[in-house]
């Protein structure tokens, strides 16, 4: 019998995903100014987050899966906590798992009526995200927030719906305290 050496590693609490078919991209503030309430006098070259994704799967094949890791830097933008852009899935039958790897954060969730709530993320926490919910990660801690993910390759990303109808809450760090602000 042929036995193949592992081609990809994710030593979950020690390292990022490494190996074949692993893509990496970095998001800087200059590409994400629209999601923050105030970006005046903030360095647009600030690194917000890095995404690693193991994309051996096919986006055309129902039932196929991707594996990912997002690391959000512990930075704020005029006191607003660092966050991902957030998205709905284009195919709302597709759920997703997130899991906490390092740091402290919030998984912000929103249903199609705009109802918004959060789950706290800590090392080892596991989060099942229903396919109909928009989801965004927010770093509320003092160290990088690492969150792993597994999702169907056919899920797709709908960012436009979030731009039209944003999450109802913003999260700030003021005098070391986390403060929620309702947008409407
Ligand atoms: Fe997703």
Q: How many whole angstroms from 90 Cα to the centroid of ligand 1?
A: 9
24 has a pLDDT exceeding 70: yes
Percentage of the chain beyond pLDDT 90 is 98
pLDDT band at 183 (very low <50, low <70, confident <90, very high): confident
Q: What is the pTM of this model?
A: 0.95
Q: How many whole angstroms from 5 Cα to the centroid of ligand 1?
A: 30
94 has a pLDDT exceeding 90: yes
75 has a pLDDT exceeding 80: yes
Mean pLDDT of 62-87: 98
Q: Which fold, 8-182? A: Jelly Rolls (2.60.120)
Q: How many whole angstroms from 11 Cα to the centroid of ligand 1?
A: 22
Q: How many whole angstroms from 154 Cα to the centroid of ligand 1?
A: 11
Residues with CB under 5 A from ligand 1 (ion): 96
Q: How many whole angstroms from 67 Cα to the centroid of ligand 1?
A: 11
Q: Provide the token pair at 27.
A: 């998001």
Q: How many whole angstroms from 33 Cα to the centroid of ligand 1?
A: 21
- How high is the pLDDT of residue 46? 98
- How high is the pLDDT of residue 26? 98
Q: How many whole angstroms from 39 Cα to the centroid of ligand 1?
A: 26
3-state SS track over the chain: CCCCCCCEECCCCCCCCEECCEEEEEEEHHHCHHHCCCCCCCCCCCEEEEEEEECCCCCCCCCCEEEEEEEECCCEECCEECECCCEECCCCCCCEEEEEEECCEEEEEECCCCCEEEEEECCCCEEEECCCCEEEEEECCCCCEEEEEEEECCCCCECHHHHHCCCCEEEEEECCEEEEEECC
β-strands 47-54, 22-28 pairing = antiparallel
- How high is the pLDDT of residue 136? 98
pLDDT band at 96 (very low <50, low <70, confident <90, very high): very high
Give the model confidence (pLDDT) of 101-142 as tens digits: 999 999 999 999 999 999 999 999 999 999 999 999 999 999
184 has a pLDDT exceeding 80: no
37 has a pLDDT exceeding 70: yes
Q: How many whole angstroms from 29 Cα to the centroid of ligand 1?
A: 21
């Amino acid at each position: 019998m042929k036995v193949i050496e592992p081609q990809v590693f994710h030593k979950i609490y020690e390292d990022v995903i490494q190996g074949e078919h692993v893509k990496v991209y970095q998001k800087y503030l200059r590409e994400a100014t629209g999601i923050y309430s105030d970006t005046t006098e903030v360095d647009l070259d600030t690194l917000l987050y890095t995404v690693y994704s193991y994309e051996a799967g096919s986006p055309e094949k129902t039932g196929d899966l991707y594996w990912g890791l997002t690391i959000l830097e512990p930075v704020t933008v005029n006191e607003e906590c660092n966050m991902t852009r957030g998205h709905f899935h284009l195919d709302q039958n597709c759920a997703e798992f997130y899991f906490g790897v390092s740091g402290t954060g919030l998984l912000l969730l929103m249903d199609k009526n705009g109802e918004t709530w959060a789950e706290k993320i800590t090392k080892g926490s596991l989060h099942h995200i229903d396919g109909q919910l928009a989801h965004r990660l927010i770093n509320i801690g003092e160290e990088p927030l690492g969150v792993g993910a597994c999702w169907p390759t056919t899920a797709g990303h709908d960012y436009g719906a979030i731009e039209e109808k944003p999450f109802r809450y913003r999260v700030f760090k003021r005098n070391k305290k986390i403060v929620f602000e309702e947008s409407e």
